[in-house]
Structure formats: structure tokens, C-alpha cells
Amino acid sequence: MTKTVFSLALLSLLLLSGPAVADVCSIDDVPAATLLLPYFEVDLNHPWGVNTLFSVNNASAAPVVAHVVLWTDLSIATIDFDLYLTGYDVQSVNLRDLFDGVAPQTAPDDAISNRGFFSLPHAVPASCVGNLPIGDVPAPLVLLMEQAHTGVAVESFGGLCAGVSYDDGIARGYVTVDVVQECSTDFQNTPGYFSGTAGYDNVLWGDYFYVDEANDFAQGETLVHVEADRAAFTAGDYTFYGRYVSWDASDAREPLPSIFATRYLDGGLFTGGTDLICWRDSKADPGPFTCGTIPAPFPLAQNQVVIFDEEENPELVPESRFSPGVPQEDVLICPWEAQRTEVGGPALPVSPSFGWLYLNLNTSTGSVQDPYAQAWVTTVVDAVGRFSVGFDAIQLNDLCTPTDVRLEE
């Protein structure tokens, strides 16, 4: 009797409370309409090498469909698939499994996606009938992913390339997850995606992990939660998917910031130093390109990077040696759409072993939104073979009210 009363009371609380709500344009960990995994790595040559896992969670009692898209580090979409989530459901995605052709299997069927006590009855759009579960990834798409995400010639793209080549067998890129109203094989740049396929309910949340068993390394963080609000944006506003809708704001998703502050450590216990995980908006929709070249507007520059030691002494990253000068052209700390950058490495040289970074990642690319450029930065600090910590950088602006502050000497 007591257990039954408690369960009913808890169910009432869950159904009445609904997902948490936060202010649009303040990027925080609340249920959202879009999730961003800002960067992933999968070592395709070594099964115990680096891998990336993430989860997609449903914050509501009602079932939802989530649309997952993989993008290369130069923002070219490769594959997409749908996840059916029952109320309060969670689905983990192991990217190594995906590159091996094994995709998550979900469907409005208790034998596949169990409906728990607090979940509302199964409901599925007509477009999903017969299309869920999705089955394994076809072999030609597995090959496409392997080639596109390692930066080599892609057979199905006519021998063109889709990503940066590091020649190390590691697949790189980023992932977006949208709540949707129907099942589809559309990407965000498909005409009509935001007038029919995409949803606008802020019900998704999630996290991700980098795991490197061979080197005893693991680090995790929440996914970037991008809220939607159809009343908050009008044509011409900077929105998260703005480049795919000609900046008409029909995606209705808040933009990410462009200026950040974050700590770095390189010494003491942290023998592995510090890496920055960067995602950046190129504001372009590039297609496959001739291998050995890089499509415009890459590589991406930045407005300003300032290194502070622990006594507040600033150090500027070297500026361009040419005239007229392009701000900090010589050192491009995050030149691609998604990457890992070593603090103290060639892309970001620093003198002090400990301090913090001022990162103004605004840049001009020829877009109507110049010079603003949304981005995301996460910091990973590592003690090799012992432990690691990770945290998101501090946001110093938002692009709902764009600012481009350059520190003056």
C-alpha cells in the first residue's frame, strides 16, 4: 500500500513538473531541441585505442524521435539515423560500434524499446512505421564513414575528400541530434527539414565520454544543449543552424557563444598537459572537395587569443607578419569545424606552464553574419596513465546580442 501510494505520487510529480526550463541564449545543461557532440575520435586501426560514446536521453514522459547526424571535421554530413525514445528513455551510442556497422536498434515495441512504468503509451509518426528498427549500417555506408572521417578519398563521392587527413587511422568529426516530428533520411541542409521534419520541443539531454583503454584515459562531459524557441528569433538573427536556412531563423535554435575563458595546466601532477576540444561554425555548407586541397572558408582564423599566467601577465599569440595584418593569422588555434588542440603545441604555443586563456573565436568568412562565429570549447587536463579532468570553457558573450570584444594593450 505504501509503495503504491509513493509510486503514484512520484508519477504525478514527474508528469506535472515536465522538463526544466532555462533562458534561451544562456547555454546551460537543460533539456533542449538539439544536442551537439562537439568532437569525436575513433581509432579504426586499434580496437583498444581512442573511442567516443554518447547518450541521448528523453526528459519527458511522452515518447520522442531523435535524428542523429554525423559530420566530418570540415562539416560535411555523412550518415544519419533515427532513435525512438520511450518516456524517460536513454539510448547510448558507441561510435566504434557504428563504424563497425552496428547501429542502435530502437522501435515502438516493448521487446526492443521497453516502455517503463512512468512512460506514456507508445506513439510513432506514420513515417517511422516500417523504418524502425533501422537495422545494421550497410557496408557501402560503413566504407563512406571510414573514408570521409579519416580524410582520404571517398569512393561514393567520386574520389573526392570530405575531411582533414592526419594519416593516422583516426576517424574525426562531430555529431548533432535533433528532436524531430517524423522519421527521415534528411540532413539539416535538406530543403524542408525545418518546415516539416524538425521538432521544437526541448526534451533531449545527454552526455559523452572519450575512452582510450590502451592509455588508461577517460574523460566525460555533458553534450552541448541547444534550446529552441520559435518566438525568440526573426529573420536575420544568428541561429545555431542559420547557415542551412539562409539565416531566416526557421530553425529557431539559440546560437552558441563566440568568446571564452578557460584554465590550462602543463606540469605538476598534470604530466599530459591540456587539450582544447573546439567546435566552430564555419557558416558554410561545403561539399566534397579535391583531395589535397582545403575548401573555403577553411582554415578558420580567430580574432584574438591572449595567454595569462597566474600573476595576470598577458602574452599575445603571435600576430601576422604581413601588411595589412590579418589578426593572429600565423597561429590558428582551431582551424577546422571540429578538432583537438594541444595547449603548448604548434597550434597554440604558450610560455607559462599554468594560467588561463582568453579566446575570441570570432572570424570573418564572407558570411552575412560576419564577424561573429559561434563556437564551443571544452578543456581536457590529463595526468598520463593516472587520471584526467574535463570541463566546459566559461562563456563570455552570447550571439543573441552579438559582441566582439578585443582586449586592448
User: 314, 407 in Cβ contact below 8 A?
Assistant: yes
List the chain domain ranges.
Answer: 22-255, 256-409
CA 409 to chain centre: 34
pLDDT given at position 271: 79
pLDDT given at position 270: 80
pLDDT tens for residues 327-381? 445 689 999 999 999 999 989 999 999 999 999 999 999 998 999 999 999 999 9
User: 205, 32 in Cβ contact below 8 A?
Assistant: yes
Q: What is this structure's pTM?
A: 0.92
Q: Using 50, 70 and 90 to split pLDDT, how confident is the model at 322?
A: very low
Q: Using 50, 70 and 90 to split pLDDT, how confident is the model at 320?
A: very low
pLDDT given at position 96: 98
Q: Using 50, 70 and 90 to split pLDDT, how confident is the model at 319?
A: low
pLDDT tens for residues 84-108? 999 999 999 999 999 999 999 999 9
- Amino acid at position 223, single letter: L
Residue 73 C-alpha cell reads as 571535421
Q: Is the pLDDT of residue 67 over 90?
A: yes
Determine the average pLDDT of the residues in 52-71: 98
Determine the average pLDDT of the residues in 175-204: 96
pLDDT tens for residues 218-234? 889 999 999 999 999 99
% pLDDT > 70, the chain = 91
E-assigned strand segments in 44-146: 50-58, 64-71, 77-85, 90-94
Give the H/E segment covering residue 211: strand 207-212
